[in-house]
Structure 1
Amino acid sequence: MSTCTSLTPSIVDDEPVGLDTIQEGRFTVPDSLEDEACWIVYTRKGDDKIPSDPRSPVPSYVDGTDPDYCVTFGEALDTVAESRRRFGHDDGLGGVGLCLGATDVCAIDLDDVIDEDGELDELAADLVDDIDSFTEVSPGGRGLHILVRDEQGVDDDHLQKDVIECYDERMMTFTGRTLRRASREIVNCPGLVGAYQSLYNGERDTDGDESAETGSTSAPTERTSRGELGDVLEDIVDTACEYDGDFEVLWNRGSTAWDSVTWNHDRSRADMSLASKIHWWCQESDAFAEEEISRSEMERIFLESDLAQRDKCQDRTDYVSRTFDKVQR
């Protein structure tokens, strides 16, 4: 069973799919999730969808992975509706998101698997039919979100983002535009996501360089203590803190300072800012060091910052590598 709400899909996300051959049912929320406190809302900033507090119709940026902000689907939807009533479609909240970290639901995120004629590619069709779980079209209309209840979560021995993308801790924008060929409920199958990672994604190389599979120039970095950074890296940090006020704030007080207008109350944006600054200062290190700083050393510096002391950075170091991937593009 699932819930088909009478509320218009535009309250959730107003980007039309515009596809003819994919037959979609009415806007649908799985019964098992409707009353579970795992929902959040978001506001739009350009092309970005930034998590916002679902208890307030006033857009206010929050950590979209923090379960403490989550409410039921109905409460989140009511907040979006009230926000748009007060501030209009453009300035109000953009829609509803699912906080994966607040539940045992994992998402398999498939990008660019729907062609211009609305047909699924072979990989997407096989996954949808084999898993037979709740599947929705992504906001852009060219991807799919397959939801699976899997208490084991993603398999850290395999790449989280390769042929398929697998997540168990992030905000996922929710459209409710389901495929008729897929189930309206979420299958419960512990270990399923890890099995598909094993089937489609490469193994994480913790000893060598995994750039051949991910585009990264270094393997995930293990956590170190500040005292193990060494003299050269310590000098870089000290110099950056002395001459760059934002670096100093993120390095020494980032665990709380990220929630400010400087970084739009967006922790991921603060992560990108600090990573960019670390990359810049390491590139400039020739001014006071006689050796080139490697990518792995840059990541070590990041992991020792106050900003990076949360579990998402310390336990999921693939996130740190992906952040530096974006910096170096």
Structure 2
Amino acid sequence: MVGRLIVSFDVSLQDTNDAALEYAATGAADGIGFVFTATVPLVGVDVDDCRDPEAGEPLESALSIIEQLDSFTEVSPSGTGYHVLLEGDLPDGRNRHGSIEMYDQARFFTVTADHVDGTPTSINERQDALEAVHEEFVAEDDTTNDINSTTGDRRDDSGQSQTLELEDEELLEKARSAGNGDKFDRLWRGNTSGYDSQSEADMALCCLLAFWTGGNRLQMDRLFRQSGLIRGKWDDVHHADGSTYGEKTLERAIAATDDFYEPTTPTVETSVDTAAETDTDTAWTLKGGIAEPGSVGGDRVYLEEKNDLLEARIDELEQIVADQRDQIEQLTAERRQLRSIVEQQESDLEGDH
């Protein structure tokens, strides 16, 4: 069977890379690649949609990045972008913006070895240049974020709707005190009782984190790593596209979450005539069956009802998983039965001879 060969090689040695390329050329593998880990000081910069495959020339913005980084550069598998490999430490903050992505761990890079003429053939230490490119092209810029005035959601560079972020400790406190707080706390502490596998428990916790973070993948990942469910499998590459088990779990949890928590700012009543009335309670209304936030009572009911919706959605997803598991067991049983029939037929044929 042809499979993907993942090769880890010392940046100071070319022999291992050449051997991997020779092996792939025999047809024994689809190609070669590299997995970034925390123990190897390598950074991969992926610049997409910036190269004309026919002309083979980069756009001006990509050319600027390639020249600044001044390290080994290859054409990406699609032919429409570039990979730059260098030594350094990836700066804090987000690691992607638009068509530019930067990775230093838990990421699989397909290596084409289609070297770009005029760039170094070695992987160089380029910390200052990395920081400069990150600051110019990737780092967070509050002035460019689009805030939806209706929902209070922040839309990031990928177009994903993100709720204005809660600090980690505040988020955990709210999650534990919510209507399904006991369930959250059990999962957070690593208790998988009630789930047939830890993977199902991982998914359940990630769905809860998706709700509370507004689908903020970086915060979800950061929080999950603090939970009792974290294990080495989280950073293992499990998928053909090079994504890890953790990355795919977060992606599926966000896609499965229809509703997100929306932090609210209490309305302060300034009228002298109504000040006494608003000291103890404030009226709230219903919109689409959900209590509108904006007061102490409204926020509480609003949050409880949204939590009920989320829990119902999680229960629905768990039932889907259970049904799929039953189907798998049924198909496995049918496969065993067919295999037994085939083996019996083969035995009968041998007896005839």
Q: Tell whether the 8 Å contact from 2:36 to 2:103 is kept in structure 1 after alignment.
A: no
Structure 1 residues 149, 256: CA separation in 2 closer, same or farther (over 3 Å shift)?
Answer: closer
Q: Post-superposition shift, 1:223? A: 4.3
> Which one of the candidate residues 24, 29, 47 is aligned to 1:110?
47
Work out which of the two has the higher radius of gyration on C-alpha atoms and give 1 or 2. 2
Secondary structure, counterpart of 2:121 in structure 1: coil
How far has the Cα of 1:168 moved from its partner? 2.0
Residue 119 of structure 1 aligns with which residue?
57
Find the counterpart in structure 2 of residue 232 from structure 1.
179
1:193/1:293 Cα in 2 relative to 1: closer, same or farther (>3 Å)?
farther
Secondary structure, counterpart of 2:161 in structure 1: coil
Deviations 1:92-131 (A, max 9, x none): 3532325364432322211111113222111122223344
Name the counterpart of 2:161: 217
- Tell me if the contact between 1:159 and 1:203 (Cα under 8 Å) persists in the aligned partners: no
Q: Which residue of 1 aligns with 2:252?
A: 276
Measured against aligned partners, the alpha-carbon deviations of 1:254-292 in whole angstroms (never above 9, x if no partner) come to 6256699x989x872454246535763665999x95126
Structure-2 change in CA distance of 1:107 and 1:84 (3 Å): closer
| In structure 1, distance between residues paired with 2:23 and 2:110 | 19
Q: Say which SS state the counterpart of residue 58 (structure 2) adopts.
A: coil
1:128 matched to 2:128 = no
Q: Of residues 77, 88, 101 in structure 2, which corresponds to 1:165?
A: 101
Higher relative contact order (CA 8 A, sep 6+): 1
Matches of 1:154 and 1:93, distance apart in 2: 29
Change (3 A) 1:289 1:81: farther
Of residues 232, 239, 247 in structure 1, which corresponds to 2:200? Answer: 247
Q: Give me the whole-angstrom Cα distance separating, in 1, the residues matched to 2:116 and 2:243.
A: 33
SS in 2 for 1:128: helix
- TM-score normalised over the length of structure 2: 0.47
- Structure in which a larger fraction of residues adopt helix: 2
In the alignment, is the contact (CA less than 8 A) between 1:162 and 1:213 conserved in 2? yes
Deviation at 1:147, TM superposition (A): 2.5
Q: Secondary structure at the match of 2:83?
A: strand
> How far apart are 1:78 and its partner, in Å?
4.3
Distance 1:225 1:201, change over 3 A: closer
Quote the offset at 1:136 in angstroms.
1.0
Partners of 1:83 and 1:185 lie apart in 2 by: 21
Question: Is the alpha carbon distance of 1:202 and 1:210 closer, same or farther for their aligned partners in structure 2, counting shifts above 3 Å?
Answer: farther
Report the equivalent of 1:18: none
Amino acid at match of 1:168: D
| Cα distance in structure 2, aligned partners of 1:156 and 1:294 | 35
Contact 1:113 1:142 survives alignment (8 Å): yes
Secondary structure of the residue aligned to 1:197 is: helix
- Percent of counterpart pairs with the same letter? 21
Structure 1 residues 175 and 157, CA gap change in structure 2 (3 angstroms): same
Counterpart for residue 92 of structure 1: 29
Q: State how far apart, in whole Å, the 1-side matches of 2:60 and 2:78 are.
A: 20
Are 1:144 and 2:82 an aligned pair? yes
Q: 2:47·2:82 contact (CA, 8 Å) conserved in 1?
A: yes
Structure 1 residues 247 and 147: CA distance shift in structure 2, 3 A:
same
Q: Compared with structure 1, are the counterparts of its residues 253 and 202 closer, same or farther at alpha carbon in structure 2 (3 Å cutoff)?
A: closer
| Match for residue 125 of structure 2 among 188, 201, 209 | 188
Deviation, structure 1 residue 220: 6.4
**Please, which moves more after superposition, 176-185 or 98-107?**
98-107
Contact 1:282 1:293 survives alignment (8 Å): no
CA distance change for structure 1 residues 83 and 279 in 2, over 3 Å: closer, same or farther?
A: closer
TM-score (norm 1): 0.50
Tell me the SS of whatever aligns to 2:136.
helix
The CA deviation string for residues 208-256 of structure 1, in whole angstroms up to 9 with x for no partner, is 9652434232266754599632233436657997477542266575625
- 8 Å CA contact 1:136–1:175 kept in 2: the answer is yes
Secondary structure in 2 aligned to 1:291? helix
Alignment CA distance shift 1:294-1:175 (3 Å): farther
Separation of aligned partners in 1, 2:96 and 2:81: 17
**1:200 matched to which residue of 2?**
137
Structure 2, unmatched stretches of 5+, are 146-151, 206-227, 262-288, 290-302, 314-353
- Secondary structure of the residue that 1:97 maps to in structure 2? strand
Amino acid at match of 1:268: T
Q: Is residue 45–residue 102 contact of structure 2 (8 Å, CA) maintained in 1?
A: yes
Do the aligned residues in 1 keep the contact of 2:20 with 2:32 (CA within 8 Å)?
no
Letter aligned with residue 96 of structure 2: Q
130-139 vs 270-279, greater mean Cα deviation: 270-279
